[in-house]
Amino acid sequence: MTRWPVSYPLALLIALITAAPIVVLIGLVENPADFLDTRNLDLLVNTLLLMLFTVTGAVIIGVPLAVLTAYVRLPLGKLWLILLAAPLAMPSYIGAFTFYAAFGPGGEIDNLLGISTPSASGLTGATLVMILYTYPFVLLTTRASLLSQDASLINASRTLGLSLPMSLWKIALPRALRGITAGALLSALYTLSDFGTPAFMGLDTFTRVIYVEYNAFGLDQAAMLSLQLLVIVGLILFLESTIGVTLERPGRSLTIWPGRWQVPALLAAVAPIVMLSIVLPLGIFTLWLFREGNAGFELEYAWNSTYVSLLAAAVAVVLALPVAYASIAGRFGRLMDRITYLGFGVPGIVMGTALVYAGLQVPFMYQTLGLLVIAYVLRFLSLAVGSVRSTAEKLDASLTKAARVLGARPSEVFWRVTVPLTFRGMIAGAALVFLEVMRELPATLLLAPTGFETLATYLWRVYEAGYFGRAAIPGLLLVLMSGLGLALMLFGERRAEFGMIEDKKS
């Protein structure tokens, strides 16, 4: 290679910064001699099974929902998208806890309705909860991929006699593979690093060992075990990067008009997911709210959550652009892209502590809002990178060349051609970061300005103390504010959509 692509220096810088907490982790390991403890191998099986089942389930639920929200004209279509994406803002430990409380003999469903349900526990219970709180990763990344596809291939396939479901299966989904795997990857990493859900469901996983070590003040052990987990993360990252892409021009996306009877049928099919992931936890909390009463909540927390999440989403998307483009430009860029994912696979509390060490390198910023936003971006940059990349890599290079020939400098081409055409991916990435920051806990607890409370930290506080009724209002607000944030972003997406229709009208 004679010349580096313009995105490389920036991407390298960003990748190095995101790698800082990982370097901190390596520094915290004091005794690398006992790097491998064979006793942990059994746990690895549980961890990998949970990850495998969760990813499979998240794809099985997320992809059809992506098709539904991308292509099908539904009344209040955007509202359904918002509701279906909202579980991403709900901490999964909350879901796991309410599942545990609701189901089974003696659970709230049994108590209230007298319906006996099997109790949610073990691998099945953990998988179910993890699917419900990670499928929106797949939903959002796949939806962005599907929306950037021109409708004519599906139309061609249908007029050639292939049914709509088969056309989507054989023509649309293979081209959305990168979007699907980008979401599946996030779902896998989230599952790998989550502690609360498997703990509640009584499933022994690798993260439990890390938490036990961490809580027993063995930070060095916890760091080392986290690095071991990163070996799996690295393997998954490698596998995901081997999936190829086909180039195509973006165009006006497909619209499917459902028949009159199909609308209620579709909504009925979607309703259980929303019921289980959002209505159930909020319902259980509300029930307890009536039993216990409420106290101590301030609306300011909702505002704090929302603006800091929006801020982090915006910064993450901007920083994701050079990384995503470097990733498309060449092999080295691809490596930098992969580096940004590492942080997402480290259990939150360990990552939170690593971020404290990293943050203390700039003492004047320590525990300021600015550093908190940077910490969020370090943790979740990969969410934005993946979404932007999966839309951007399908872009026809002739478009940027055309702009160059018209006399535009590379930066102008970037802002006037590339960015508008990857806008969908940026929106999807921003949405993912936004929702993930809404539920982020450890970094917020440790790095926010002292006294800065968010919905997630308040939820944790009352949950830790066992005052579950008080979780109802912040829980509801978490869903509401996430909805508002998403609506704001989708408004931006709609504007991009109009642009697309205008130039293809006939």
Partner 1 sequence: MLPGGLLAQESQAKIALSVEELPALEGELTLYLGRGEGGLYENVLDAIQQRNPALELNIRRGPTAALANAIVAESRAGVRRANLFWAVDTGAIGLISNEGLARELPQDLTNQLQANFRYEKWSPITGRIRTLPYNTERLTAADVPDDVMAVPDSGLSIGWAPAYASFQSFVTAMRLLEGEQATGEWLQKMDKVARSYAGELGVVMAVERGEVDMGFANHYYTLRLKAGKPDATVDLAFTNNDAGCLVNASGIVALSEGDLPINFIRYLLTREVQSFLSSEAFEIPLVDGVAPPQGLPDLATIQPPDINLTRLADLRPTLDLMRDVGVL
Partner 2 sequence: MLQIENLCVDYGPVRVVENLNLTLTEDEILMLVGPTACGKTTILQAVAGLIPIAQGRISLGNWEATPGKSIAPEKRKLGMVFQDFALFPHLTVEQNVAFRLTDMVQADHWLKLLGLDNFRYVKPGTLSGGQKQRVALARTLAHEPSLILLDEPLSNLDAALKDSLRWEIRNALKVAGVPAIWVTHDQEEALSVGDRLGVLNAGVLEQLASPEACFCEPASRFVAGFLGEASFIRGQLKGNHVSTSLGDVPATAVDEATGEVDLLLRPDDLSLAAAVGPGNAKVSWARYEGAYWLYGVALDGGPQLQIRTSHENYFGIGERVGVEVITTHALAAFAIA
Q: Where along the sequence are the contacts to partner 1 (CB under 8 A)?
A: 39, 100-101, 104-107, 119, 196, 199-200, 202, 204, 208-209, 211-219, 288, 291-292, 295-296, 349, 352-353, 356-357, 360-361, 363, 366-367, 442, 445-446, 450-451, 457, 460-467, 470
Contacts of 70 (CB under 8 A, 6+ apart): 142, 143, 146, 147, 253, 254
Amino acid making up residue 72: V
Instruction: State the minimum distance, in angstroms, from the CB of residue 273 to partner 1.
Output: 25
Q: Are 89 and 302 in contact (CB under 8 A)?
A: no
Token pair recorded at residue 18 = 């995101």
- Cα–Cα nearest to 321, from 340, 305, 306: 340
Instruction: State the minimum distance, in angstroms, from the CB of residue 66 to partner 1.
Output: 33
Q: Which does 442 bind (CB under 5 to 8 A by kind): partner 2, partner 1, none?
A: partner 1
Q: How far apart are the first and last CA of the chain?
A: 44
Q: Which does 262 bind (CB under 5 to 8 A by kind): partner 2, partner 1, none?
A: none
Q: Closer to partner 1 at the Cβ: 43 or 500?
A: 43
Q: Closer to partner 2 at the Cβ: 142 or 157?
A: 157
Instruction: State the minimum distance, in angstroms, from the CB of residue 307 to partner 1.
Output: 20
Instruction: State the minimum distance, in angstroms, from the CB of residue 348 to partner 1.
Output: 10
Instruction: State the minimum distance, in angstroms, from the CB of residue 87 to partner 1.
Output: 21
Q: Closer to partner 1 at the Cβ: 303 or 357?
A: 357
Instruction: State the minimum distance, in angstroms, from the CB of residue 60 to partner 2.
Output: 23
Q: Are 342 and 230 in contact (CB under 8 A)?
A: yes
What's the rounded Cα separation, in Å, for the pair 341 and 271? 32
Binding residues for partner 2 (CB under 8 A): 150, 152-153, 155-164, 167, 171, 174-175, 246-249, 251, 255, 257, 259, 505-506
Q: Residue 162, SS3?
A: coil
Instruction: State the minimum distance, in angstroms, from the CB of residue 154 to partner 2.
Output: 9
Q: Which does 251 bind (CB under 5 to 8 A by kind): partner 2, partner 1, none?
A: partner 2
Q: Which does 9 bind (CB under 5 to 8 A by kind): partner 1, partner 2, none?
A: none
CB atoms within 10 A of CB 215: 10
Token pair recorded at residue 58 = 């998240």
Q: Which does 295 bind (CB under 5 to 8 A by kind): partner 2, partner 1, none?
A: partner 1
Q: Which does 341 bind (CB under 5 to 8 A by kind): partner 1, partner 2, none?
A: none
Containing H/E element for 272?
helix 262-274
Q: Over the Cα atoms of the chain, what is R_g?
A: 23
Residue 1 CA to chain centroid, in angstroms?
Answer: 35
- Helix runs in 343-454, H state only: 348-359, 369-392, 397-405, 410-413, 419-421, 423-439, 442-447
Q: Closer to partner 1 at the Cβ: 228 or 367?
A: 367
Q: Which does 101 bind (CB under 5 to 8 A by kind): partner 2, partner 1, none?
A: partner 1
What's the rounded Cα separation, in Å, for the pair 329 and 387? 16
